Structure 1
Amino acid sequence: MNRFFTVFAGTALAVPVSFVVWLTSMFGFHQHFLPAAAIGIAGGALTYGTVYAIRLQKFLAKNELSRKEYRFIRKNLKEAGTKIWRMNRALLSVRSVAKFKQRLDLLNVVRKIHRLTTREPKRFYSAEVFYYKYLDSAVELTEKYAFLSSQPNKTWELEESLQETNHVLRELTFSIDKVLQEMLSEDMEQLNFEMKVAKHSLKESRINESVKFDDRIK
């Protein structure tokens, strides 16, 4: 749900309603200033809550989710946001340009999945392996790699550990990207179907135009 638009729409409606209720309470029902102001604020709050509830219900219906499911998913998305922030912080300490690019590729894929799930929470269920398994591993390994690579004196064992961590992170990037592709597979199938329908319509249109042209010539 677009929370900014919801807040904007609710506030834009709640403020004038609150003002009208306040004026009505003061001059229509002869209330004192403070009671009238309290009634006006209550009216505005009720209006805002109604707008939020309506938009939330439409959003849940569109995503085929219950309120309980949505609260559960939002909780997971909030926790994931914190973990992604940790990855971003760890990324800034990587000094190697090549390794920075690899970690950035990983971070970008992670962010895409998180943004997609935030926009369409129903997709959470097709990305559960990412949220419950891959993301935690990605955060821990990214932070571990950043810490070890920042050490001034690297022993042979440390270099070997860095290479192994880097290898696992590459494999993890591939696995997470696969989750993203699976999340988008339904959209791609729908797009392919729409293209086939459009091509068929264009083909029929060209045939009809050709027949009409031949008829005019005759």
Structure 2
Amino acid sequence: MRRFFQFIFQTAIGTSTAVVTGLISFFAYNAAFMMSGLYALIGGGASYFLTKQIMHYRFLKQKGLNRKEYKYINENLIEADEKIKRLQRTLKSVRSWHQARQYFEILVTVRKIYANTKKEPQRFYQAEPFYYKHLDSLVALMEKYAYLKSQPSRSKEINEALGETRETITTMDGIIKKDLHVMLNDDVNTLQFELDVANQSYRQAHKNESEALK
């Protein structure tokens, strides 16, 4: 959503600049119509990209990141998005309601971590174990389970491997939920602090009101 509004704003600035530049070139400096159009195009384009750079700089400053950090985080998000798509494909192997529900909850948790990082890039550092280790392990396990499940003839060893993989996936489910809790821990602490302040203000106001009625 931020990028959409940013694009609209940049386009508005670029278009306005192009129109003003073209009119000034044509009427004030008596430039030819084609040259005025060229100046308008150059002015509008320069204004568009300058606005984009300024808005991006302000966004990074607000998030406490530099360009190198943001680029690194964005590269990790692109890789994570591909891995999430691989997780979604493993849903095709699901046959039971219980397993489908578990896989759905896992995807919801994974997507929440990804969405939070996409919206607030600095949160990446709160979820580094998820991006560096846990997501890879989860993808490998669920793809392995889907592969074993698709075998037309299963030996005792395959059935045992399926059982072990299911148990490990359940363990990983708990781990990534902890990753999400760690990511949101600051928000929870902030909310609790705000609630404490609000409750204290309410109690003080109620106390003052009671004393005034005496």
Q: TM bucket by the smaller chain?
A: over 0.9
Tell me the secondary structure at the aligned position of residue 30 of structure 1: coil
The residue number in structure 2 matching 1:3 is 3
Describe how 1:34-45 pairs up with structure 2 within 5 A: 34-45=34-45
% of aligned pairs identical?
Answer: 41
Structure 1 distance, partners of 2:38, 2:95, is 58
Is residue 2:137 matched to residue 1:145?
Answer: no
Deviation (angstroms), 1:107: 1.1
Partner Cα distance (2:32, 2:135) in 1: 57
Q: Which portions of structure 1, spanning 4 or more consecutive aligned residues, are displaced by more than 3 angstroms? A: none
Aligned residues: 214
Partner of 2:93: 93
TM-aligned CA distance change 1:28 to 1:180, over 3 Å: same
Is residue 23 of structure 2 the alignment partner of residue 32 of structure 1?
Answer: no
Alpha-carbon shift at residue 134 of structure 1 (Å): 0.7
Inter-partner Cα distance in structure 1 for 2:146 and 2:12: 46
Residues 94 and 150, structure 1, Cα contact 8 Å, conserved in 2: no
Q: Distance in 2 between matches of 1:53 and 1:92?
A: 43
The aligned counterpart of 1:69 is: 69
Give the distance between the partners of 1:151 and 1:98, measured in 2 at CA: 21
Contact 1:60 1:67 in 2 (8 A): yes
Checking the alignment, whether the CA contact within 8 Å between 1:126 and 1:183 is kept in structure 2 is yes
Distance 1:64 1:158 in 2: 49
Structure 1 unaligned spans of 5+: none
Deviation at residue 36 of structure 1 after TM alignment: 2.2
Look up the match of 1:79.
Answer: 79
Contact 1:18 1:40 in 2 (8 A): yes
Output the amino acid matched with 2:105.
Answer: D
Deviation for aligned residue 1:64 = 0.8
Q: 1:207 to 1:98 in 2, by over 3 A?
A: same
Distance of 1:162 and 1:32 partners within structure 2: 76
The letter for the 2-side match of 1:28 is A
Q: Which residue of 1 aligns with 2:58?
A: 58
Q: Which amino acid aligns with 1:198?
A: A
1:110-149 correspondence runs (5 A): 110-149=110-149
Using the alignment, how far apart are the partners of 1:154 and 1:120 within structure 2? 46
Distance 1:92 1:55 in 2: 42
Shift of 1:49: 1.6
Matching of residues 205-216 of structure 1 within 5 Å: 205-214=205-214
Q: Which moved more, 1:201-210 or 1:81-90?
A: 81-90
Normalised to the residue count of structure 2, the TM-score between the two structures is 0.93
Establish whether residue 172 from structure 1 lines up as the match of residue 168 from structure 2: no
Letter in 2 for 1:102: Q
1:144-163 map, 5 Å: 144-163=144-163
